[in-house]
Structure 1
Amino acid sequence: MLDKIRVVLVNTSHPGNIGGAARAMKNMGLGQLVLVQPEDFPSSEAVARASGAQDLLDRARVVDSLEEAIAGCALVLGTSARDRRIPWPLLDPRECAAHTLQQAEAGGEVAFVFGREYAGLTNEELQRCHFHVHIPSDPSFGSLNLAAAVQVLVYEVRMAWLSAQGQPTKREKLETTAMLNAQLATADELERFYEHLEHTLTDIGFLNPEKPRHLMARLRRLYGRAAPSKLEMNILRGILTETQKAVGRLSDKQGKS
């Protein structure tokens, strides 16, 4: 589906923004870049800003008009930072991503159209778009860098695409891992741990069996509050085992000397 989405930059004045847009696209898995009358392209500055996405620049199509850039597209979405006199269907980036995937799933080509750095798209250009897309930035400072605006839209598209593929979000992965690790150690496992802990503390000289005081009782309360899982209990038992091995090796060395 991502192969059906093209990013169209209209009359870009700074070549670095072209490179930055290409980098943003490649980060999110998009590969179609179309440039409408760029002021400076090809450019070494664009290559430098692309930072590894030069292949997108090499494949970029340079055309003479917006009509040519969006030819064959079933859905055209134009970005706009300003309210316009003529009312037009307006989407935010997340809604834009949802519409984009619906169209791409149906086999249609989609174009994201971005305007000039200093003025955006003209009213005439925006009227060629099915929807306008507005990034809800802070009204007191709403001017986004062109490459940053591209990054916002293609990020939302990728997140929508991942969701459509059934891939879990980072939070869902974390919750799944937590569930797997949340099986608590049983009472008998805790008792074996406390016995192991007491022997180890004795081996290293931290606990005097003749004068234990309340050390083990306090440690029981500590680990009881922690409610360790089975996985965590295995880690703790492993640490104790390796500690006992280290103490044994040290004792062997001292005996030989």
Structure 2
Amino acid sequence: MLENIRVVLVNTSHPGNIGGAARAMKNMGLSRLVLVDPLDFPSHEADARASGASDVLEGAQVVGTLEEALVGCNLVLGTSARDRRIPWPLLDPRECGQKSVEEAGQGGQIALVFGREYAGLTNEELQRCHYHVHIPSNPDFSSLNLAAAVQVLSYEVRMAWLAAEGQPSKVEKQEVNSVRSADLATADEMESYFGHLEQTLVAIGFLNPEQPKHLMARLRRLYGRSSVNRSEMSILRGILTETQKVARGDAHKRKD
């Protein structure tokens, strides 16, 4: 599906931006790059900025006109940083990603078109697009770097693709120790721990058994919110044991 989505850069003046765009694309799983009349390409600077996405640069198609870049496309979305006073269907980046993936999933060929660093796309070029896409940046500083703009839309495309494929958009962290360490401590293990904890707090003088002031009840609530597993319980019990040893040593010194 993602191979049906091409990124088109029009008349890019700085080769580093081409490399940065290639890196942004590869980060998000896009690979088809089309360059319309770039001022400096191929370039060592583009290779350097690509930082591992050299395959995207090597596979880039270089054409002379936007018309050539859009051959075969069923959906063309052009980025615009400002109001051109042209009544045209407008999408935000999220809608752009969803629309792109929806059309690509049906076999359509999609083009995400980005203009020149200094002036964006011309009105004539924007009129060749089915939709305009505006990134809602800070109005006091709205001009995005070209590679950054490519990153924003590529990210939204990937998020929409993950949703369409039923894949998670975040990776859950899991412990890599034994299976037992992932199990939560049982109620009886927690009770044993609370007994150990109370003894230790008394030994170091933090808890006065004559005036407990609901300290243990509050600690129970705290640990209850923490979902302590057995590996963590072993650590906590070890800390209490060592604390008790120090407390006993201090008590002996005071007697001496």
Task: Show the counterpart of 1:162.
Answer: 162
Query: How do residues 130-209 of structure 1 correspond to structure 2 at under 5 angstroms?
Result: 130-170=130-170, 186=187, 188-197=188-197, 206=204
1:19–1:47 Cα contact (<8 Å) kept: yes
Secondary structure in 2 aligned to 1:141?
Answer: coil
Q: Is the 2:193–2:237 contact (alpha carbons within 8 Å) kept by the matching residues of 1?
A: no
| Kept in 1: contact 2:197–2:240 (CA 8 A) | no
Q: Give the match for residue 236 of structure 2.
A: 239
Alpha-carbon contact 2:6-2:33 (below 8 Å) kept: yes
How far apart in 2 are the matches of 1:140 and 1:200? 58
- Number of the residue aligned with 1:251: none
Could you say which residue in structure 2 is the equivalent of 1:22? 22
Aligned position for 1:178 = none
Cα separation, 2, equivalents of 1:90 and 1:198: 64
Whether contact under 8 Å (2:36, 2:65) holds in the other structure is: yes
Pair 1:221-2:217 in alignment: yes
In 2: Cα distance, 1:227 partner to 1:243 partner: 15
So what's the TM-score if we normalise by structure 2?
0.79
Aligned partners of 1:198, 1:138: CA distance in 2, in Å? 54
| Separation (CA, whole Å) in 2 of partners of 1:223 and 1:229 | 10
CA contact (8 A) 1:196 1:237 kept: no
Q: Secondary structure at the match of 1:113?
A: strand
Contact kept? 1:184, 1:230, Cα under 8 Å: no
Cα separation, partners in 2 of 1:173 and 1:39, compared to 1, 3 Å: same
Task: Identify the residue that residue 11 of structure 2 maps to in structure 1.
Answer: 11
CA distance in 1, matches of 2:150, 2:78: 11
Report which stretch shifted further, 73-82 or 238-247: 238-247
Where does the alignment leave 5 or more consecutive residues of structure 1 unmatched?
175-180, 249-257
2:127 and 2:226 map into 1 onto residues whose CA distance is 62
Q: Pick closer, same or farther for the CA change 1:191–1:158 going to 2, 3 Å.
A: same
Aligned position for 1:253: none
- Corresponding residue for residue 49 of structure 2: 49
Residue 147 of structure 1 aligns to a residue in which SS? helix
| TM-score between both structures, scaled by the size of structure 1 | 0.79
Instruction: Name the SS of the counterpart of 1:67 in structure 2.
Output: helix
Instruction: Give the equivalent residue in structure 2 for 1:95.
Output: 95
Moved more, 218-227 or 87-96: 218-227
Counterpart code for 1:106: Q
Query: Secondary structure at the residue paired with 1:139?
Result: coil
Identify, as 1 or 2, the structure richer in helix: 1
Counterpart residue identity of residue 81, structure 1? A
Q: Distance in 2 between matches of 1:101 and 1:236?
A: 46
Q: Distance in 2 between matches of 1:35 and 1:97?
A: 21
Inter-partner Cα distance in structure 2 for 1:82 and 1:241: 62
- RMSD over aligned Cα atoms: 3.2
